[in-house]
Amino acid sequence: MSERYEYVPHRLLRCRVRDIASGTEGELMAVVNENVSDCAAYDRWMQLAYVRTASGREFTTTVANIEPVSRS
């Protein structure tokens, strides 16, 4: 079996972002190409964004769901 994850460079790392699915904002800590398969017979890779909220808790969402937070 191959590696379970690998880090991916992203232009918004360490920037304030919003998860458009939940509306939650935080700092983008990492983007990881992760094998989310629940079966050893095949791999299912997905790019996940790890976002840290102001409370310090982190959550994941798909990279396609993050957008930069505009500063006014």
CATH of residue 58: 2.30.30
pLDDT at 1 exceeding the cut of 50: no
Amino acid at 36: V
pTM, two decimals, is: 0.85
pLDDT of residue 40: 83
Which domain covers residue 44, as residue numbers? 5-68
pLDDT at 2 exceeding the cut of 60: no
> Which residues are within 8 A (CB) of 14 and not within 5 positions of it... i.e. 6 or more apart?
27, 28, 29
Total domain count, the chain = 1
d(CA 69, CA 11): 13
d(CA 34, CA 63): 12
pLDDT at 71 exceeding the cut of 90: no
> Which residues are within 8 A (CB) of 28 and not within 5 positions of it... i.e. 6 or more apart?
10, 12, 13, 14, 15, 17, 49, 50, 51, 66
Q: Work out the average pLDDT over 43-54.
A: 94
